[in-house]
Structure 1
């Protein structure tokens, strides 16, 4: 049974190598020594994710990702919502490609589920290092 799924709310994801991305997310969990039951990535628009942010987190602002840990026990089960619109915009503002920014966001959600936080300056720094580590290992393995 596949553990990583890509689903679409109101936006399709045009990204080459989707199966490679899914495999690398499973690899990330194994490297972080975290058991993965199932992770569903749901790709959506800014407006769709803004409504989730308002309804579930009481935040009234756009974001690129919201991760819901639905785990019961030691195996990770989750839903991860990603705004394709926000990822596209962030890629432009960060001066990177859409693919690289999408990888960063995909791995960011997985890293949250592995226990990494990003509330303090030190936590953000560690999260960025881990994101880059997995992007580089992905690029090395699949390019």
Structure 2
């Protein structure tokens, strides 16, 4: 009889702890999923992006277009701000005046062609529509 009471007590305590754990997890997840406000001042936009913008390929003398190359993969291009800013001597002030770590330069279409120069990679900046300014954050 004593073994049955002990067994029932252990089972009751175990079930109680499991229920308590589940309720605690639900409360924790509910608080985590509350909509958080974004502090836009923590990552301000550069002043030159205060209005819509676009890349003006006509102002670049070395701008080229390559629509015949295949896209074999996309290359993620990152820069590490602390090292980049050491070499800038006052240029690129927006990036260098803030405490950025990695900065995404782009996700660039690339090709596997052997011995390929940068001109053999797929490129067609002239037909790109500008990114909505609301997305840039």
Q: TM-score, normalising length from structure 1?
A: 0.21
Which protein is bigger by CA-based radius of gyration?
Answer: 2
Q: TM-score, normalising length from structure 2?
A: 0.22
Greater share of strand: 1
Q: Which has the higher contact order (CA 8 A, sep 6+)?
A: 2
